[in-house]
Structure 1
């Protein structure tokens, strides 16, 4: 990190995390963001995207601007970060709080929570607000976040924010802010349509520090995390046998920490209930999970006191939970990006991991096509006498 001449306090924080060398995406992106340019960038999961935008923003807007020395009554919200899930927003908030110190206020604002509480939190003049596009837009419309004070807007997991479900809210958020802001967007899977759409929107809106400033698009070369750091397995099971196959796999493999992905919230509940009935300690997590239970599930999973977390794709985007050794996908998602994001929850921070698909005949046929498309190798597995073996092993 020495090449960036960061404030000594930032360097100390990086040293505490044993981060001494910038990743490839950080080397490419940090100078651009530090200069105040709009930046759209794509980089694989686990490559350090969050710090790639947080470090230069903190350096320029917190330390170099003198924000850290301003009295409380002269402070304002300088940075807004939009995220598709509350879990990701909380993770970003925690990283910012680590960089700035716990005394510096960072606010998380999501729909479903009391807007009065968010308004109350804004009275403490947080340096940054992290939340959903609709709630951030509400607070700007109510003039609780003063748009003219905002200097940077970040879209974390931009492709998800610009999906059909949330595109209108995200566009509204961009248009609610002045042309003088800096815009940053990142994802592990930012396709050409998202890049083109964002670039066009910024151009027509005149968004940039100089009103229509240049937008840089940075697509990092693949680091082959999916192929080199993650081993891919497949287990065949008819739909009626999938839950029992999952239980048998967990018993045979004894993973240290496993994230199980299901297609729907109903499937999450069904799977978690089944495993609990079979005396497998686990938690279920999806969009409808009560916030207290959601926090408890994540805390238990992160600490390792609960080794199995069953979830929908809610947790596939952006979450960086240390020590996940195994991913289990209950079927093959229709969108290859979801497969990539799910698998990318393991093999973080130079570790390796296992990605298992439990699928029926049609799903394993789809996995074979995905295998060719993503240039991965999938190893068929079988369960035999309580052990996990290669499908071609002689078990007789």
Structure 2
């Protein structure tokens, strides 16, 4: 999936357009909660880790079909609202609430590729669709120069059952 995104980025020169503002592959992500600052609450990291282990939800397939810029934030956006996305988001919010963490920020299906794109740029219109499966939840700590994520916790989502076709014979 990341290979497909990288191919599209190169085909439309987005990698050149954004330059160093383009996230590395390891930073491409779908947010499912607001940012939380553990420095303000000493036990927050432990509560976030417990919340992650509480989430029970299915993986969500998305079809990304455009690049959207909202100020400096650039992201691939999904076509419509993928089946299961609202349920996944609700499961994350329930798990956070169970740990006393208020998080009601809405999220749309997307894959962030930059937080620091020059505001005067417009993303190209792409013709390809990219299939992306949200198959795990990561708790990350972000920062540094260049901006990067450190994975603090990870939890697999329930795999989507493979469709089967009965034999015609």
Under a length normalisation based on structure 2, what TM-score does the superposition of the two structures give?
Answer: 0.29
Bigger Rg over Cα: 1
Where is the strand percentage greater, Structure 1 or Structure 2? 2
Under a length normalisation based on structure 1, what TM-score does the superposition of the two structures give?
Answer: 0.16
Where is the helix percentage greater, Structure 1 or Structure 2? 1
